Amino acid sequence: MAERTPWSLSGALRGMFAKKTIDGETWEDLEDALIKADFGPNVTEVVVAELRAKVAKYNTTDPKDLQRMLREGIEERLSLLDSTLTLSERPAVVLVVGVNGVGKTTTIGKFAKFLNTYGRSVIVGAADTFRAGAVDQLATWAERAGAQIVKPQMVGQDPASVAFQTVEKAKNEGIEIVIIDTAGRLHTKGGLMDELTKIRRVVEKQAPIAEVLLVLDATTGQNGLAQAEAFIQHAGVTGLVLTKLDGSARGGFVLAVQERTGIPIKLVGQGEGINDLTGFTPHVFAQKLIG
Ligand code: GDP
């Protein structure tokens, strides 16, 4: 049996799937459960319509069939985009972007540890140079993860220069993966996007950028997505990291996010510990969500 998780839908749907037969209330109950789990109105409508059609086609009244079809439908939907991280370049440069507070620093720490566990050497660049606290926090995570770090020499140093030095050190020392932390202040959006563009330009002179990962907090739902719109439009995002899925009762957000952005989810954070980060596998996710 799949492990139960807080974002699992099976709790809400258990009563429905345990019924003897699919009945008049089934579709309304299903719709309610999907909306509550933050699938968003569009995905909910499509998923319910598809299921109704399938149930009619296969002429079944067994809720267990409905559960299986729902799980398979979700898996198929999530498999439309490729969740594989492309880290084959040497060095492979990963830019991590997102609004402050979503879990960017924590994710970088976990990701560095994850890569380190698989024998990859990692260097982290602290290019959020205006917040001294952010640099210290990142340094603590880097140490725990067994990664090197390049820090700014002073508060407010040009973030692009920190990124440049990090990639340069990686090239000189043969370090395989570079992870660059970036600022996430929302109030100066224009300035921040220009800053990210400059970081990209400077880094790309030295090495191709393998991934630009946008970190999103799953507990903020559609709101968080609206806040991250500028990154999606301007930062060349190649993959999403969903954090705090452990604290969210809304696992359906995963589908809503994918539908709204068209960007694959590549990593998932499910806790504050250093090992609480996994890759994203549609099959495993759908199984945990639906049961
Ligand atoms: P940043 O401002 O984006 O760098 O955010 P931080 O990395 O400092 O994280 C903000 C808070 O979210 C911290 O208290 C983290 O412990 C917490 N956090 C980050 N990722 C997760 C996660 O996957 N699950 C939970 N429960 N908390 C998380």
Instruction: Name the residue at shortest CA distance from atom 9 of ligand 1.
Output: 103
With beta carbons less than 8 A apart as the criterion, state whether 255 and 39 touch. Answer: yes
Residue 249 lies in a domain: yes
Same domain, 102 and 219: yes
> Which of 32, 56, 79 is where one domain is finished?
79
Q: Is the pLDDT of residue 30 over 80?
A: yes
- Quickly list DSSP for the chain: -PPP-TT-SHHHHHHHHHSSS--TTHHHHHHHHHHHTT--HHHHHHHHHHHHHHHHHHT---HHHHHHHHHHHHHHHHTTS-------SSSEEEEEE--TTSSHHHHHHHHHHHHHHTT--EEEEE--TT-HHHHHHHHHHHHHHT-EEE--SSTT--HHHHHHHHHHHHHHHT--EEEEE----STTHHHHHHHHHHHHHHHHTTS-EEEEEEEEEGGGHHHHHHHTHHHHHHS---EEEEE-GGG-S-TTHHHHHHHHH---EEEEE-SSSTT-EEE--HHHHHHHHH-
- Residue 41 has, within 13 A of its CA and on its CB side, a CA count of 0
Find the domain containing 129 and state its range.
Answer: 92-281
The pTM of this model reads 0.93
Residue 175 lies in a domain: yes
Same domain, 274 and 253: yes
Confidence tier at 13 by pLDDT (50, 70, 90): confident
Same domain, 200 and 127: yes
Same domain, 56 and 101: no
Same domain, 109 and 63: no
The residue assigned the tokens 């705090």 is 244
Question: What confidence tens digit (pLDDT) does each residue in 47-88 have?
Answer: 999 999 999 999 999 999 999 999 999 999 999 999 999 999
Provide the mean pLDDT of the chain. Answer: 92
Question: What confidence tens digit (pLDDT) does each residue in 189-216 have?
Answer: 669 999 999 999 999 999 999 999 999 9
Instruction: Name the residue at shortest CA distance from atom 16 of ligand 1.
Output: 272
Closest residue by Cα to residue 134 from 151, 110, 146: 151
Sign of CA dihedral 102, 106, 110, 113: positive
Pocket test for ligand 1, best of 99, 105, 106, 213 (most atoms within 8 A of CB): 106
The two structure tokens encoding residue 103: 């879990």
The residue assigned the tokens 């569009």 is 42
The two structure tokens encoding residue 40: 């968003």
31 pocket-lining for ligand 1 (C-beta < 6 Å): no
Pocket test for ligand 1, best of 272, 274, 276, 278 (most atoms within 8 A of CB): 272
Same domain, 168 and 229: yes
Residue 112 lies in a domain: yes
Same domain, 110 and 215: yes
Q: pLDDT: is 186 or 230 the higher one?
A: 230
Q: How many domains does the chain have?
A: 2
CATH number, domain of 276, equals 3.40.50.300
Same domain, 152 and 59: no
Same domain, 198 and 244: yes
Q: Is the pLDDT of residue 3 over 70?
A: no
Same domain, 181 and 248: yes
Residue 6 lies in a domain: no
With beta carbons less than 8 A apart as the criterion, state whether 102 and 215 touch. Answer: yes
Confidence tier at 5 by pLDDT (50, 70, 90): low
Residue 2 lies in a domain: no
Same domain, 165 and 196: yes
Confidence tier at 1 by pLDDT (50, 70, 90): very low
Residue 4 lies in a domain: no
Residue 85 lies in a domain: no
CATH number, domain of 28, equals 1.20.120.140
103 pocket-lining for ligand 1 (C-beta < 6 Å): yes
ipTM exceeds 0.95, yes or no? yes
Same domain, 161 and 71: no
> Which of 53, 79, 105 is where one domain is finished?
79
Residue 287 lies in a domain: no
pLDDT of amino acid 143: 98
